[in-house]
Amino acid sequence: MTKFFFFWYFFTCNIIFADEIKISIILENCKSCHGYNYEGNKYIDSLLDIEKSDFITKMNEYKYSNDNYAMNRISKVLTEKDIKKIAELIYENK
Contacts to ligand HEC by CB under 6 A: 26, 29-30, 32-34, 44-45, 47, 50, 55, 58-59, 69-71, 74, 86
User: Looking at beta carbons only, is 8 or 76 nearer to ligand HEC?
Assistant: 76
CA dihedral 38, 40, 44, 45 (to 10 degrees): 90
In angstroms, what is the minimal distance from the CB of 55 to ligand HEC?
Answer: 5
User: Looking at beta carbons only, is 4 or 28 nearer to ligand HEC?
Assistant: 28
CB distance 57 to 65 below 8 Å: no
User: Looking at beta carbons only, is 74 or 84 nearer to ligand HEC?
Assistant: 74
Distance of alpha carbon 6 from alpha carbon 65, whole angstroms: 44
Distance of alpha carbon 64 from alpha carbon 38, whole angstroms: 23
